[in-house]
Amino acid sequence: MIRFVAVPAWQLEPPVKGKAQPAPERLEPPLHESPEVLVEALARSEFRGENPLEYADALFARGGSTVFAKPPQDLPALLRLADQLVLLARQEAGERARAFVCECGTRYAVPVALLRPVAIPCERCGRSLELDATKSDGEESIAEPFQGRVNACRKALSDFFREAMARGWPVLVERPSTP
Protein backbone atom coordinates (compact mmCIF):
# COMPACT_ATOMS: atom_id res chain seq x y z
CA MET A 1 0.00 0.00 0.00
CA ILE A 2 1.26 3.45 -0.85
CA ARG A 3 0.10 6.93 0.01
CA PHE A 4 0.52 10.17 -1.91
CA VAL A 5 1.35 13.36 -0.02
CA ALA A 6 2.20 16.88 -1.14
CA VAL A 7 4.28 19.28 0.93
CA PRO A 8 5.83 22.68 0.27
CA ALA A 9 9.32 22.41 -1.24
CA TRP A 10 10.94 24.11 1.76
CA GLN A 11 9.90 21.15 3.94
CA LEU A 12 12.17 18.87 1.88
CA GLU A 13 15.26 20.91 2.79
CA PRO A 14 17.11 20.38 6.07
CA PRO A 15 16.32 23.10 8.63
CA VAL A 16 18.76 26.01 8.81
CA LYS A 17 20.23 26.48 12.29
CA GLY A 18 18.94 29.57 14.02
CA LYS A 19 16.23 30.23 11.45
CA ALA A 20 12.61 29.79 12.45
CA GLN A 21 10.73 27.35 10.25
CA PRO A 22 7.08 27.95 9.34
CA ALA A 23 4.57 25.42 10.58
CA PRO A 24 4.65 22.26 8.48
CA GLU A 25 1.89 21.91 5.90
CA ARG A 26 0.65 18.76 4.24
CA LEU A 27 -1.88 17.93 1.55
CA GLU A 28 -3.29 14.41 1.17
CA PRO A 29 -6.03 13.02 -1.04
CA PRO A 30 -9.12 12.03 0.97
CA LEU A 31 -8.64 8.29 0.45
CA HIS A 32 -9.66 5.73 3.02
CA GLU A 33 -9.82 2.81 0.68
CA SER A 34 -8.33 -0.64 0.63
CA PRO A 35 -5.12 -1.27 -1.34
CA GLU A 36 -7.12 -3.10 -4.02
CA VAL A 37 -9.13 0.06 -4.78
CA LEU A 38 -5.98 2.17 -5.18
CA VAL A 39 -4.34 -0.47 -7.40
CA GLU A 40 -7.43 -0.67 -9.61
CA ALA A 41 -7.79 3.13 -9.68
CA LEU A 42 -4.24 3.56 -11.01
CA ALA A 43 -4.43 0.60 -13.40
CA ARG A 44 -4.35 1.53 -17.10
CA SER A 45 -2.94 4.98 -16.28
CA GLU A 46 0.54 6.23 -17.03
CA PHE A 47 3.08 8.59 -15.47
CA ARG A 48 6.32 9.21 -17.37
CA GLY A 49 5.77 6.10 -19.51
CA GLU A 50 5.13 3.74 -16.58
CA ASN A 51 2.26 2.66 -14.42
CA PRO A 52 2.25 5.01 -11.38
CA LEU A 53 2.51 2.10 -8.92
CA GLU A 54 5.47 0.60 -10.80
CA TYR A 55 7.09 4.05 -10.88
CA ALA A 56 6.58 4.35 -7.11
CA ASP A 57 8.02 0.86 -6.53
CA ALA A 58 11.10 1.85 -8.56
CA LEU A 59 11.51 4.92 -6.32
CA PHE A 60 11.34 2.73 -3.21
CA ALA A 61 13.83 0.25 -4.70
CA ARG A 62 16.39 2.99 -5.36
CA GLY A 63 16.02 4.24 -1.81
CA GLY A 64 16.59 7.83 -0.82
CA SER A 65 14.15 10.37 -2.13
CA THR A 66 10.54 9.40 -2.64
CA VAL A 67 9.62 12.49 -4.64
CA PHE A 68 7.04 11.20 -7.11
CA ALA A 69 6.61 14.47 -9.01
CA LYS A 70 8.18 17.89 -8.62
CA PRO A 71 7.03 21.10 -10.31
CA PRO A 72 7.69 22.54 -12.81
CA GLN A 73 9.40 19.69 -14.70
CA ASP A 74 6.77 17.06 -13.79
CA LEU A 75 3.76 19.36 -14.19
CA PRO A 76 2.75 18.17 -17.69
CA ALA A 77 3.16 14.48 -16.82
CA LEU A 78 1.18 14.77 -13.58
CA LEU A 79 -1.61 16.75 -15.25
CA ARG A 80 -1.80 14.08 -17.99
CA LEU A 81 -2.12 11.45 -15.24
CA ALA A 82 -4.91 13.48 -13.61
CA ASP A 83 -6.70 13.74 -16.98
CA GLN A 84 -6.33 9.98 -17.54
CA LEU A 85 -7.83 9.23 -14.12
CA VAL A 86 -10.86 11.44 -14.79
CA LEU A 87 -11.32 9.91 -18.25
CA LEU A 88 -11.16 6.37 -16.86
CA ALA A 89 -13.70 7.28 -14.18
CA ARG A 90 -16.06 8.66 -16.85
CA GLN A 91 -15.63 5.62 -19.10
CA GLU A 92 -16.42 3.21 -16.29
CA ALA A 93 -19.12 5.28 -14.60
CA GLY A 94 -21.84 2.80 -15.44
CA GLU A 95 -25.26 3.23 -16.96
CA ARG A 96 -27.31 6.36 -16.22
CA ALA A 97 -30.52 5.77 -14.26
CA ARG A 98 -33.40 7.78 -12.85
CA ALA A 99 -33.84 7.46 -9.09
CA PHE A 100 -37.22 7.23 -7.38
CA VAL A 101 -37.97 7.24 -3.65
CA CYS A 102 -41.10 5.82 -2.07
CA GLU A 103 -42.75 7.57 0.90
CA CYS A 104 -41.31 4.84 3.14
CA GLY A 105 -37.77 5.67 1.98
CA THR A 106 -37.16 2.70 -0.33
CA ARG A 107 -35.06 3.75 -3.32
CA TYR A 108 -35.48 2.48 -6.85
CA ALA A 109 -33.27 3.10 -9.88
CA VAL A 110 -34.52 2.63 -13.44
CA PRO A 111 -32.08 2.75 -16.37
CA VAL A 112 -32.88 5.77 -18.53
CA ALA A 113 -33.14 3.59 -21.64
CA LEU A 114 -35.87 1.47 -20.01
CA LEU A 115 -37.85 4.24 -18.32
CA ARG A 116 -41.58 4.22 -19.12
CA PRO A 117 -44.39 5.88 -17.15
CA VAL A 118 -45.75 3.03 -15.01
CA ALA A 119 -46.79 2.46 -11.41
CA ILE A 120 -45.32 -0.36 -9.34
CA PRO A 121 -46.03 -1.51 -5.79
CA CYS A 122 -43.28 -0.74 -3.29
CA GLU A 123 -41.55 -3.91 -2.08
CA ARG A 124 -41.40 -2.64 1.49
CA CYS A 125 -44.74 -0.90 2.17
CA GLY A 126 -46.92 -1.92 -0.80
CA ARG A 127 -47.85 1.66 -1.77
CA SER A 128 -48.03 2.51 -5.45
CA LEU A 129 -44.94 4.28 -6.77
CA GLU A 130 -45.15 6.16 -10.06
CA LEU A 131 -42.08 5.72 -12.22
CA ASP A 132 -42.46 8.86 -14.30
CA ALA A 133 -39.43 10.87 -15.44
CA THR A 134 -41.03 14.11 -14.21
CA LYS A 135 -41.38 12.67 -10.69
CA SER A 136 -37.88 11.23 -10.33
CA ASP A 137 -35.55 12.14 -7.49
CA GLY A 138 -32.68 12.80 -9.91
CA GLU A 139 -30.28 10.94 -12.14
CA GLU A 140 -27.41 8.78 -10.95
CA SER A 141 -25.00 6.20 -12.19
CA ILE A 142 -25.58 2.48 -11.80
CA ALA A 143 -22.26 0.79 -11.13
CA GLU A 144 -21.21 -2.07 -8.94
CA PRO A 145 -20.11 -0.84 -5.50
CA PHE A 146 -16.42 -1.71 -5.99
CA GLN A 147 -16.29 0.17 -9.31
CA GLY A 148 -17.99 3.14 -7.68
CA ARG A 149 -15.26 3.26 -5.00
CA VAL A 150 -12.56 2.94 -7.69
CA ASN A 151 -14.02 5.86 -9.63
CA ALA A 152 -14.31 7.99 -6.47
CA CYS A 153 -10.64 7.20 -5.74
CA ARG A 154 -9.66 8.21 -9.28
CA LYS A 155 -11.47 11.53 -8.97
CA ALA A 156 -9.94 12.23 -5.54
CA LEU A 157 -6.42 11.45 -6.83
CA SER A 158 -6.97 13.64 -9.89
CA ASP A 159 -8.12 16.56 -7.74
CA PHE A 160 -5.18 16.02 -5.38
CA PHE A 161 -2.58 15.99 -8.18
CA ARG A 162 -4.06 19.16 -9.70
CA GLU A 163 -4.12 20.95 -6.35
CA ALA A 164 -0.52 19.97 -5.54
CA MET A 165 0.71 21.25 -8.91
CA ALA A 166 -1.39 24.44 -8.59
CA ARG A 167 0.34 25.12 -5.26
CA GLY A 168 3.72 24.26 -6.75
CA TRP A 169 4.30 21.53 -4.17
CA PRO A 170 6.22 18.31 -4.82
CA VAL A 171 4.20 15.10 -4.60
CA LEU A 172 5.79 12.45 -2.41
CA VAL A 173 4.97 8.78 -2.28
CA GLU A 174 5.30 6.88 0.98
CA ARG A 175 4.49 3.54 2.47
CA PRO A 176 2.51 3.95 5.67
CA SER A 177 4.08 2.16 8.60
CA THR A 178 2.05 -0.83 9.69
CA PRO A 179 1.47 -1.16 13.43
**179 residues of the chain, pLDDT tens digit each:** 788 999 998 888 777 776 766 777 889 998 766 889 999 999 999 999 999 999 999 999 987 668 999 999 999 999 999 999 999 999 888 778 899 999 999 999 898 888 999 999 999 999 999 999 888 888 877 777 788 889 989 999 999 999 999 999 999 998 876 55
Phi, then psi, of 118 in degrees rounded to 5:
-140, 170
Query: CA-based Rg of the chain, rounded to a whole angstrom?
Result: 22
The predicted model scores a pTM of 0.73
The pairing of beta strand 128-131 with beta strand 118-121: antiparallel
C-alpha to C-alpha distance for 81 and 46, rounded to whole angstroms: 6
